[in-house]
């Protein structure tokens, strides 16, 4: 996994960005999540970018969020 950038402080809150690379496995969607799922070759490998904005309280609340998942070649252009 690539390193996650540190949270960015702003007067309006804290911003966190996550980048996730996903792969399809042979395990069913409804099956319990065993650790030994086989990765399916030559399948889609979407990359997801998620951004969250938290308030500055003692117990942070999510003020805003953004998710974008798509094929890795589409995410490289954005």
pLDDT digits (tens, 9 = 90+) for 16-65: 888 888 888 888 777 666 667 888 888 777 888 899 988 888 888 999 99
Output the pLDDT for position 31: 63
User: Which residue segment(s) compose the domain that 18 sits in?
Assistant: 13-74
SS3 content of the chain, % helix, strand, coil (to 5): 10, 40, 50
Output the pLDDT for position 32: 67
In the numeric block, which tokens belong to residue 43?
A: 């399948």
Q: Is residue 58 part of a domain?
A: yes
Torsion sign across C-alpha atoms 58, 59, 64, 66: positive
Q: Is residue 57 part of a domain?
A: yes
Model confidence at 2: pLDDT above 60 = no
Q: Is residue 4 part of a domain?
A: no
Output the pLDDT for position 9: 64
Quote the number of domains for the chain.
Answer: 1
Q: Is residue 37 part of a domain?
A: yes
Model confidence at 74: pLDDT above 50 = no
């Amino acid at each position: 996994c690539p390193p996650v950038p540190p949270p960015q402080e702003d007067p309006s809150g804290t911003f966190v960005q996550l980048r996730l690379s996903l792969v399809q496995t042979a395990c069913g969607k409804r099956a319990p999540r065993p650790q030994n799922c086989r990765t399916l070759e030559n399948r889609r490998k979407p990359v997801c970018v998620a951004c969250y904005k938290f308030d500055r309280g003692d117990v942070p609340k999510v003020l805003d969020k953004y998710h974008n998942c798509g094929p890795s070649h589409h995410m490289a252009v954005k």
